[in-house]
């Protein structure tokens, strides 16, 4: 199974910070640049304003199809992390939280059980802003630089 996730952070009109977890699961295929572009469209439809996507240097993050997406939507920008620096990626916290809290010692019987076992924790995380902030603060990325 492959998955895409993102931890969005933004400034609300009242000056407070908001967060949201986005995800998609692909039970029987590997994620490619088409999936990634479609995922970015999901985020585009659900969030207004400027969006900086901070991610690692995986080849599908740098693919032409994805670069065309960024060229088409000026409110989106791409920030590539240095190579081999998962400690800077807030999204790593999403998976760490899910695996260590809800998926610890899980042994799904089949792909459907695996999908259900992964979807549940991610949906719960979507409704737990305090856990989302844990993911942000657990990262060493200077998120304040993007929010100013």
pTM value is 0.82
> Residue 140: which region, alpha, beta or left (left: phi > 0; alpha: psi -120 to 50)?
alpha
pLDDT at position 117, please?
87
Q: How far apart are CA 67 and CA 55, in angstroms?
A: 13
pLDDT at position 90, please?
85
| Contact assessment for residue 33 and residue 78, using Cβ atoms and an 8 Å cutoff | no
Q: Over its length of 148 residues, how does the chain's per-residue pLDDT go in tens digits?
A: 899 988 887 877 887 778 888 999 999 899 999 999 999 999 999 988 888 888 888 888 899 999 999 999 998 988 888 888 888 888 888 888 888 877 778 888 998 988 988 898 899 889 988 888 888 877 887 777 766 6
| Contact assessment for residue 9 and residue 136, using Cβ atoms and an 8 Å cutoff | yes
pLDDT at position 146, please?
64
pLDDT at position 30, please?
93
Sign of CA dihedral 146, 132, 45, 71: positive
Record the tokens describing residue 102, joined without a space: 């809800």
Bridge partner list, 4: 24
pLDDT at position 50, please?
83
Give the DSSP H or E segment for 24.
strand 17-26
79-91 pLDDT per residue, tens: 888 888 888 888 8
Q: How far apart are CA 26 and CA 119, in angstroms?
A: 11
Q: How far apart are CA 109 and CA 137, in angstroms?
A: 34
Task: Fill in the DSSP letter of residue 28.
Answer: T
Q: Which domains does the chain have, with CATH numbers?
A: 2-147 (3.30.420.10)
Phi, psi of 115 (to 5 degrees): -60, -45
Closest CA to 48 of 14, 21, 84, 12: 12
């Amino acid at each position: 199974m492959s998955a895409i996730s993102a931890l969005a952070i933004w400034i609300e009109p009242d000056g407070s910070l908001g967060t949201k977890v986005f995800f998609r699961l692909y039970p029987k295929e590997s994620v490619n640049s088409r999936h990634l572009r479609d995922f970015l469209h999901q985020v585009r439809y659900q969030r207004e304003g400027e969006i900086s996507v901070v991610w690692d240097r995986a080849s599908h993050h740098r693919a032409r199809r994805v670069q065309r997406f960024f060229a088409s939507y000026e409110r989106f920008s791409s920030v590539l992390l240095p190579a081999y620096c998962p400690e800077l990626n807030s999204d790593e916290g999403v998976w760490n939280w899910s695996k260590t809290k809800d998926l610890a010692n899980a042994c799904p019987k089949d792909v459907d059980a695996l999908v259900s076992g992964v979807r549940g924790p991610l949906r719960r995380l979507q409704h737990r802003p305090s856990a989302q902030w844990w993911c942000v603060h657990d990262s060493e990325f200077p998120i304040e630089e993007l929010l100013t």
